[in-house]
Amino acid sequence: MNAPHSHPRRVLHVGCGAADPRKLPAEWFPADQWLEVRLDIDAGVLPDIIASITDMAPVETGSMDAVWSSHNVEHLYPHEVPLALAEFRRVLAPDGFLLLTLPDLQQVAELVAQDRLTEAAYVSPMGPITPLDMLYGHRGALAQGNAFMGHRGGFTARSLQQALVEAGFPHARVMRDGKFALWAAAHMAAPQIAA
């Protein structure tokens, strides 16, 4: 738990999509303590900042207390991931942190190995999600012409940990949630834990 601040801290919500305060995980970003700054490549979702996560030039270096990325990094080609992670690191304050979540390809691969590629693994607000959707992108959104929803890469827990460390986050913890997602909290400095 972090010490209280006199002003709301700023979380850069990358790949924010349409505005919805429920998209910020409340256990990490209580509304009374955090100011959401929304960034997206899609101008149609009316973000505060229009930019790609591989080039967030409009965001000042060291200006954010946190970066929140939910299911964005898998939309990048593998060679673009280091660019995005470097940008996340660049915009963070020295005591800031990155929180991200994305599909757990190890769990997805287990379903594929069981020949369950097109069977629903779980149900999301977008409807049933299959291993095929987790590997290549949500088919419903892609069929509607939303090319941003295509998946081009992915991670297992070990490979995500390695990518975060290589990007300059020496204090990174990757967790498997058991629900087909990886969660990572990454800090440039050792996180402070309140007594």
Domain-embedded: residue 114: no
Q: What is the residue type of 38? A: R
Q: Give the pLDDT confidence score for residue 146 in this predicted structure.
A: 84
- Residues facing 185 on adjacent strands: 99, 173
At residue 185's C-alpha, the angle toward residues 168 and 162, to 5°, is 45
Q: Kindly report, residue by residue over 29-53, the tens digit of the pLDDT.
A: 999 999 999 999 999 999 999 999 9
Rounded Cα distance between 59 and 90, Å, is 9
3-state secondary structure of 66: strand
pLDDT beyond 60 at 195:
no
Tally the domains of the chain: 1
Q: What is the residue type of 29? A: F
CB under 8 Å to 30, separation ≥6 — which residues?
none
- Relative to beta strand 122-124, strand 127-129 is antiparallel
Domain that holds residue 95: 9-102+150-187
Domain-embedded: residue 139: no
Domain-embedded: residue 51: yes
Q: Give the pLDDT confidence score for residue 190 in this predicted structure.
A: 80
Domain-embedded: residue 178: yes
Domain-embedded: residue 72: yes
Q: What is the residue type of 121? A: A
Q: Give the pLDDT confidence score for residue 2 in this predicted structure.
A: 47
Tokens 């607000």 sit on residue: 125
Please, are residues 96 and 172 in contact by the beta-carbon 8 Å criterion?
no
Residue 119's Cβ-side half-sphere holds a number of Cα atoms within 13 Å equal to 9
DSSP single-letter state for residue 119: S
At residue 49, φ and ψ (nearest 5 deg) are -130, 130
Q: Kindly report, residue by residue over 74-133, the tens digit of the pLDDT.
A: 999 999 999 999 999 999 999 999 999 999 999 999 999 999 999 999 998 888 999 999
CATH of the domain at 68: 3.40.50.150
Q: Give the pLDDT confidence score for residue 126 in this predicted structure.
A: 83
Domain-embedded: residue 193: no
At residue 168, φ and ψ (nearest 5 deg) are 100, 20
Domain-embedded: residue 195: no
Confidence of residue 188 (pLDDT cuts 50, 70, 90): confident
Rounded Cα distance between 69 and 77, Å, is 16
